[in-house]
Structure 1
Amino acid sequence: MEASSGYKDYVAGLMAGVATVITGHPFDTVKVKLQKYNTEAGAVKYKNGLHCATRILQTEGVKGLYRGATSSFIGMAFESSLSFGIYSQTKRFLQGEIDGGKPQPHAIVPSAAFGGSIISFILCPSELVKCRMQVQGTDFMVPKSTRFSGPLECALKTVQEEGLTGMFRGGLATLLRESVGNAVFFSTYEYTRYFMHLQLKGASSESSQLIDVGVGIMSGGLGGIAFWSAVLPLDVAKTIIQTTPEKNHSRNPFSVLNLEIWT
């Protein structure tokens, strides 16, 4: 029973990761381009996300919005699977088999942070490749410093030029983003789900499955909003660190953010 439940946690996380890439990667591409080119001194300034997305569609078509999706599929599938699996297993270990009870912060926060810190080591290399692919493009507004034909070439050139440690550039920012972000996400998710179920406690059994789906969507959506509200600055720093061509560029996310504020 316990093993079966753990298996389902990992499979559910895997499916969630795949669905996230399919629906969210175009938005992520726009986000990364804005983080890269709207923070550099003298760089092109996209007016907003719509302007950036329009430029991509005009010069590269829909496939431009999915640039870097291969590495994102690999990273997000494993990341989401391990995140949900490790979190669920660790939470059970800390609080026991309590089902439907009031959320316990002493179990949720460390479980989520632990899961986030573990997956950051897997996520960092895949996100580095993803981001470096995403900042490319055929748009004349984008600098033509380096072009990669695919994620494999990007990874190989990174290792050749920067060594194996180059694949973990931005590791500290990724670790902080995932550990803090997951703690915020799962705390919001658990409390939202708990209080929504309390309000809908008297619902008929026929509609219980539909209610569970709705509660899951609302809880996950609010958790995602809370996640990015808490860690977006760290994500901006991570993108800058991972995509800069300068080998001696600071890898301290707080130094990078401080520099961006004062320049």
Structure 2
Amino acid sequence: MTFKKEKPIHSLIAGTTVGAIEAFVTCPTEFVKTRSQFGGQRESPLTIIRSTLRDKGVTGLYSGCLALVIGNSVKAGVRFASYDHFKSMLADPQGNVSAPKSLLAGLGAGMIEAVIAVTPSETIKTKMIDDAKRPNPQYRGLAHGTMSIIRQDGILGIYRGLFPVMMRQGANSAVRFTTYTTLKQFVQGTTRPGRQLPPGITFVIGGVAGLVTVYATQPLDVIKTRMQSLSARQQYRNSFHCAYRILTEEGILRFWNGTTPRLARLVVSGGLVFTLYEKIISVIGGREQDTR
């Protein structure tokens, strides 16, 4: 029995490309989401946008963008390459992957990307966004910000929040890929057996996968942001202490702060990433025959 699977190098190329594009397009929503998750007075997404435009201009919405683009491109490349590898290992003779196996493949991909790419880039991006809201920011750009963080906190400083990042990325990828793969197989099986789905349908399926992912993993995202803020070392002993303080001092709904901008980002990026990925893979001929 033969079926087509993605070539590892092409998965990496396609994933890296769509990751960079997605990060730049959705950077303002990521900025607003991160700002809304810091402690202190609650601010609505519109308030954050208005105050940032007033004080910093449009460029203020792109604080930490370069760190996000670089980290996201590496993250997406590692994510798709890892997921496609795990998926091909777990697929049945027809090339289909059951929901539990897709969940396992996504979890593995999320853990790998968290260690290799996400934690360092997220730490730097979060600290730069936190710093940008100060009257006199101390970081003058990505390179200066990175070196300042390393000088102040050591090389492990860019790995602050590793545990919640691994949990978030594992859950993100597990939920996102499982939802996408399950819906894609269902739609293909009922409407277009043996044929590639058109971009419009792929975009909708990817968007639904992003929607499910946001609500399932938002608490982990909030904890991750708090642990990577500039004041984290003075406020929280570890991720569990951070979660406990949020729950007891601010209430359970605080775990879903930033849902709206993150929802906007993941729904758009879910549709964009999966659509572009499928298109790039088809253009570069990235699938090869697998014989079982």
TM-score class normalised by the smaller sequence: 0.7 to 0.9
Q: 1:115 aligns with which of 109, 112, 128?
A: 109
TM-score by length of 2: 0.77
SS in 2 for 1:222: helix
Map 1:78-227 onto structure 2 (within 5 A). 78-95=74-91, 98-99=94-95, 101=96, 103-121=97-115, 122-137=117-132, 142-144=133-135, 147-201=138-192, 211-227=197-213
Give how far 1:151 is off. 1.5
Map 1:47-58 onto structure 2 (within 5 A). 48-58=44-54
2:83 corresponds to 1:76: no
CA deviations 1:206-229 (Å, max 9, x no partner) are xx76x4212221121111112221
Give how far 1:159 is off. 1.2
How many angstroms apart in 2 are the aligned matches of 1:124 and 1:171?
Answer: 6
How many angstroms apart in 2 are the aligned matches of 1:6 and 1:190?
Answer: 18
SS in 1 for 2:42: coil
One-letter identity of the residue aligned with 1:6: P
How many angstroms apart in 1 are the aligned matches of 2:65 and 2:230?
Answer: 20
**Contact 2:5/2:88 (<8 A) preserved:** no
How many angstroms apart in 2 are the aligned matches of 1:189 and 1:4?
Answer: 16
How many angstroms apart in 1 are the aligned matches of 2:5 and 2:90?
Answer: 17
Give how far 1:254 is off. 3.2
Q: 1:45 aligns with which of 20, 42, 48?
A: 42
Change (3 A) 1:5 1:98: farther
Structure 2 unaligned residues grouped into runs of 5+ = 250-292
One-letter identity of the residue aligned with 1:32: T
Q: 1:242 aligns with which of 228, 234, 247?
A: 228
- Percent identity at matched positions? 23
How many angstroms apart in 1 are the aligned matches of 2:21 and 2:213?
Answer: 18
SS in 1 for 2:198: helix
One-letter identity of the residue aligned with 1:157: S
Structure 1 unaligned residues grouped into runs of 5+ = none
How many angstroms apart in 1 are the aligned matches of 2:163 and 2:237?
Answer: 8
